[in-house]
A and B are shown apart, each in its own frame.
Chain A
Amino acid sequence: DAGVTQSPTHLIKTRGQQVTLRCSPKSGHDTVSWYQQALGQGPQFIFQYYEEEERQRGNFPDRFSGHQFPNYSSELNVNALLLGDSALYLCASSLAGMNQETQYFGPGTRLLVL
C-alpha cells in the first residue's frame, strides 16, 4: 500500500523565481492538503484540494497556488519566491467522508530560497 509521496526531496531557488512541488496521495485517498513548516515550527495550512478544486485556504498570499489532477495527485506552485518561503513543504492526504480529518503526511520537499 503506497503512502504519500512527494517530489523533489530538496530544491534550491533564488529570489523571484517560481517553483512547482508535486504530491501523490496515499492509495485510495482523494483529498490533498498542503502545509508549510518553517524551521522549529509546526506545519501551517496552505490549502486543500478535493475534486480538483481548492476547498479551503489558509492565510497565504496569492503567490501560492495549486492544482489537483483527475488521478488525485496535486501540485503546489509558488511564484516570486521570497527568502521567507524557505521551509519544508508537506503534503497530506485523506479520504473524503467519515473521518476525513485524518490526514497522512508525505516526507516533504525542503525548499531553500537564496
Chain B
Amino acid sequence: GENVEQHPSTLSVQEGDSAVIKCTYSDSASNYFPWYKQELGKRPQLIIDIRSNVGEKKDQRIAVTLNKTAKHFSLHITETQPEDSAVYFCVLSKGSNYKLTFGKGTLLTVNP
C-alpha cells in the first residue's frame, strides 16, 4: 500500500535561510504529491502540489521537485520568514485511490 517517509522531523533555520524537506515513497503508482502546511491549532493548508508528469513546480518562495525514478519528492522554501514556522506534511495519492496519505510531518522553526 501507500507509504511515505518524511525527513527531517524537526528543522530550525535562521530567517532568510533556505529550508528543504524530503520525502520518499514506495508505490510507483503514486501520481499526485501535494504539500500541506499546518500552523498550531489550525487546519492543514494546501501550499503547493505536483503531478507525476511534472518534475518541478515553483510558486514564489516555494518549490517542489519530484524524482519518479528514485521515488522521492522535496519541498524547498527560500528566504524563510518567521511566519513560515509550522508543521509541513508531504502527501501522496494514486490513480483512482482517492485518499491522501500523509507523512509524519516536519516542524519548521524560523528564528528571527
Contact = CB atoms under 8 A, between A and B. Distances in A.
Interface string A8-38: 0000000000000000000000010101000
Contacts of B103: 42
Contacts, number: 53
A108 B43 contact: yes
A100 B97 CA distance: 11
Nearest to B91: A42
Nearest to A47: B99
B102 A102 contact: no
A48 B99 contact: yes
Given A33-B98, A41-B105, A104-B46, 17 more contacts: A4-B43, A35-B100, A42-B102, A42-B103, A43-B100, A43-B102, A45-B99, A48-B98, A55-B98, A90-B44, A101-B32, A101-B100, A102-B34, A102-B49, A105-B36, A105-B44, A105-B45
Nearest to B105: A42
Interface string B18-49: 00000000000000101010000011111001
Nearest to B36: A105
B7 interface: no
Interface of A: 4, 31, 33, 35, 40-45, 48, 55-56, 58, 90, 92, 100-108
Interface string B80-96: 00000000010101000
14 contacts: A41-B104, A41-B105, A42-B102, A42-B103, A43-B89, A43-B100, A48-B99, A56-B99, A58-B99, A101-B98, A102-B46, A105-B44, A106-B43, A107-B42
Interface residues of B, number: 21
Interface of B: 32, 34, 36, 42-46, 49, 89, 91, 93, 97-105
A45 B43 contact: no
Q: Please list the 8 inter-chain residue pairs (A to B) with the smallest Cβ-Cβ separation, ordered nearest first.
A: A42-B102, A45-B99, A101-B32, A105-B43, A105-B44, A101-B93, A107-B43, A48-B98
A43 B44 contact: yes
A104 B91 CA distance: 13
B102 A90 contact: no
